[in-house]
């Protein structure tokens, strides 16, 4: 009797188990896994070694939106833009060989800017590995230095677990790009797969530590005793989704806060304690006063050389407190008196509890003094120029006036990027999308496409120079086909402006190969059936910008700006932040 009962139970259990089994190909189980992870949008490009996955994708059109880009670099930058505006993991597909190597720039960009990505590449059949087969490249080894993690799958049975790990690694701790290389045989292999289980623990990986209160107490003690405390914040605040916690901290402690370009927008531009931008083309006050503050509180930033200038003359008078989720960043460039390793979403509220409510009026007034000097000497001439030539700054001022700080601004790299970061107004977090660490020209257009998919209800403006636009213009085709309503604003100074500025200032005006010519951008856009216009007179600027922003679909506007305008202030390379030049 008992045995019979057991048998019945066992049979039931088996039946139950088989219900949760999925029989199918590695490709199908991969796509099922993506759906389980909440993926809705994939940026990709098919090819020989990833064809089984694309074949499976044919049946998933109702669940997974696939955007066919025009180049794999465009695909990965779009996935980056998507991740940055949505706060989700960006996903892209590419085939083996050239498809995979075209991802490398985007991986490096995502790695240095901590962008969560899962990239799936096809690979030749496992039995062909190492034979120099058609479109075979050693993708794992090529991408190792530019990924947070990568893995080659040769057996479909591994796919669900590896995919779950990939998503967990990409988005937890300090986020970053993950690449999974799947051989064609594994994509085709038919297996019975158990139910998909999300990953939340890997024994060799600690995305974040348990917060140790004693460090926070030490930090609070330093802050409470400080006379001239100064907060520097980076993208860590945004990645940690700790904008509210950060705002609460600065508001209670009354400490002026300046941002790195990756942290821009974590608090509104108009916040009274937001004193501006750090670094080479940052604001005057934040740079000079870095070398005057007594306690420097760095939150989710990594003291990049573009922020610190000459390190041995950087904030030497200050006691440094460094909050970061990545312990390898603490003490890497700047020695911290107190290093607080942890997730700022957890550490900041603890700190806020312990700090005294204060107002640093005299100290804040110093920032205002410097700001006034900068307004008089740099900002007013840039935003309200008196010459006939248009400036990049006045274009930004007009955008601010039209959008009121609610647009998402995606930039490329160069002078326009610095001007956009300096002058764009942001009311909301995740609104400034730029290639900060790697400085990838060609990032702007594809990233803006992804940004629009990540934030479909927002106005997305891609501000791009005439040089950078010519690196990835093929993605106009993606806009043409899939209709991402991206507003493309080309600021054309008929130079590779930033390099020209350096050649003017540091190389005796020897303009070596910075004189770049451009096609007729308006005609180019129209060839892709994208509405376009060009402005070369101030009188038409405002109206043209309004037309662009109010246009229903995508739109390209080329604005001719002064040829030899420079971005100031500037901390020349190798100089201290306090040696910042206003002209």
Q: Which residues contribute to the site for other proteins (CB under 8 A)?
A: 140-141, 144-145, 148-150, 152, 169, 200-206, 209-210, 212, 214-215, 218, 326-328, 330-332, 336, 338-339, 341
Residue 299: closest CA among 275, 263, 256, 352: 263
CB atoms within 10 A of CB 208: 17
Closest distance between other proteins and the C-beta of residue 138, in Å?
A: 10
Cβ proximity to other proteins, 153 vs 524, nearer residue: 153
**H helix or E strand, kind and range, residue 323:** strand 319-324
Closest distance between other proteins and the C-beta of residue 96, in Å?
A: 17
Q: Which of 165, 171, 184, 247 is catalytic?
A: 184
Cβ proximity to other proteins, 219 vs 288, nearer residue: 219
Q: Which of 262, 471, 498, 570 is catalytic?
A: 498
Cβ proximity to other proteins, 129 vs 383, nearer residue: 129
Phi and psi torsions of 543, nearest 5°: -65, -40
Cβ proximity to other proteins, 219 vs 413, nearer residue: 219
- Residue 184 falls in the annotated catalytic set: yes
CA pseudo-torsion sign 523, 528, 532, 536: negative
Q: What does the alpha-carbon distance between residue 55 and residue 482 come to, in Å, rounded to a whole number?
A: 20
Q: What does the alpha-carbon distance between residue 355 and residue 547 come to, in Å, rounded to a whole number?
A: 49
Bridge partner residues of 534 (DSSP): 558
Q: What does the alpha-carbon distance between residue 32 and residue 450 come to, in Å, rounded to a whole number?
A: 22
Contacts of 337 (CB under 8 A, 6+ apart): 222, 319, 320, 321
DSSP3 helix / strand / coil % (the chain, rounded to 5):
45, 20, 40
Q: Which of 36, 125, 135, 373 is catalytic?
A: 135
Closest distance between other proteins and the C-beta of residue 335, in Å?
A: 9
Closest distance between other proteins and the C-beta of residue 120, in Å?
A: 18
Alpha helices in 97-158 (DSSP H): 98-101, 104-112, 139-143
Q: Which of 134, 335, 368, 509 is catalytic?
A: 134
CA pseudo-torsion sign 460, 464, 468, 469: positive
Q: What does the alpha-carbon distance between residue 437 and residue 422 come to, in Å, rounded to a whole number?
A: 17
- Residue 134 falls in the annotated catalytic set: yes
Closest distance between other proteins and the C-beta of residue 295, in Å?
A: 16
Strands 190-193 and 22-25: antiparallel
- Residue 392 falls in the annotated catalytic set: no
- Residue 498 falls in the annotated catalytic set: yes
Cβ proximity to other proteins, 209 vs 385, nearer residue: 209
Q: Which of 37, 72, 245, 329 is catalytic?
A: 72
Closest distance between other proteins and the C-beta of residue 452, in Å?
A: 32
Contacts of 51 (CB under 8 A, 6+ apart): 122, 184
Cβ proximity to other proteins, 202 vs 225, nearer residue: 202
Cβ proximity to other proteins, 176 vs 265, nearer residue: 176
- Residue 72 falls in the annotated catalytic set: yes
**H helix or E strand, kind and range, residue 80:** helix 72-86
Closest distance between other proteins and the C-beta of residue 341, in Å?
A: 6
Residues carrying an active site annotation: 72, 134-135, 184, 498
């Amino acid at each position: 009797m008992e045995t019979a009962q057991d048998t019945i139970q066992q049979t039931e259990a088996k039946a139950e188990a088989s219900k949760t089994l999925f029989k199918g190909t590695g490709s199908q189980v991969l796509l099922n896994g993506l759906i389980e992870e909440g993926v809705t949008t994939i940026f990709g490009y098919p090819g020989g070694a990833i064809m089984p996955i694309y074949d499976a994708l044919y049946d998933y059109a109702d669940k997974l939106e696939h955007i066919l880009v025009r180049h794999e670099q465009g695909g990965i930058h779009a996935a980056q833009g998507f991740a940055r505006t949505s706060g989700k993991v960006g996903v892209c597909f590419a085939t083996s060989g050239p498809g995979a190597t075209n991802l490398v720039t985007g991986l490096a960009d995502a790695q240095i800017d901590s962008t969560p990505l899962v990239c799936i590449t096809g690979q030749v059949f496992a039995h062909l590995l190492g034979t120099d087969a058609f479109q075979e490249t050693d993708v794992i080894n090529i991408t190792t230095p530019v990924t947070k993690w990568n893995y080659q799958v040769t057996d479909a049975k591994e796919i669900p677990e590896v995919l779950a790990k990939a998503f967990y690694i990409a988005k937890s701790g300090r986020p970053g790009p993950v690449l999974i290389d799947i051989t064609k045989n594994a994509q085709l292999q038919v297996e019975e797969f158990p139910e998909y289980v999300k990953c939340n623990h890997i024994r060799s990986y600690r995305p974040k530590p348990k917060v140790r209160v004693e460090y926070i107490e030490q930090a609070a003690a330093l802050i409470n005793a400080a006379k001239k405390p100064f907060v520097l914040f980076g993208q860590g605040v945004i990645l940690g989704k700790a904008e509210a916690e950060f705002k609460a901290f600065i508001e209670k402690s009354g400490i002026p806060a300046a941002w790195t370009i990756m942290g821009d927008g974590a608090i509104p531009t108009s916040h009274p304690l937001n004193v501006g931008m750090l670094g080479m083309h940052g604001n005057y006050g934040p740079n000079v006063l870095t070398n005057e503050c007594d306690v420097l509180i760095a939150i989710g930033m990594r003291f990049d050389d573009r922020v610190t200038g000459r390190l041995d003359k950087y904030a030497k008078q200050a006691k440094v407190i460094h909050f970061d989720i990545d312990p390898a960043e603490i003490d890497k460039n700047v020695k911290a008196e107190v290093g607080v390793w942890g997730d700022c979403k957890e550490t900041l509220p603890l700190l806020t509890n312990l700090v005294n409510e204060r107002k640093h009026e005299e100290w804040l007034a110093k920032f205002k003094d410097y700001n006034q000097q900068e307004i008089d000497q740099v900002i007013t001439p840039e935003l309200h120029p008196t010459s006939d030539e248009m400036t990049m700054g006045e274009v930004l001022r007009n955008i601010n006036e039209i959008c009121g700080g609610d647009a998402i601004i995606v930039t490329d790299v160069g002078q326009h990027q610095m001007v956009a970061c300096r002058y764009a107004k942001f009311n909301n977090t995740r609104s400034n999308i730029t290639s900060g660490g790697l400085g990838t020209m060609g990032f702007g257009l594809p990233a803006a496409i992804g940004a629009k998919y990540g934030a479909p209800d927002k106005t997305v403006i891609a501000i791009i120079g005439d040089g950078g636009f010519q690196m990835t213009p093929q993605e106009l085709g993606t806009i043409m086909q899939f209709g991402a309503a991206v507003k493309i604003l080309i600021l054309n100074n008929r130079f590779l402006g930033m390099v020209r500025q350096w050649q003017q200032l540091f190389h005796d005006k020897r303009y070596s190969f910075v004189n770049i010519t451009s096609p007729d951008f308006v005609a180019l856009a129209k060839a892709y059936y994208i509405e376009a216009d060009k402005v070369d007179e101030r009188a038409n600027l405002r109206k043209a910008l309004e037309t662009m922003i109010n246009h229903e679909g995508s739109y390209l506007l080329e604005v001719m700006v002064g040829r030899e305008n420079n971005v100031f202030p500037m901390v020349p390379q190798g100089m201290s932040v306090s040696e910042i030049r206003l002209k």
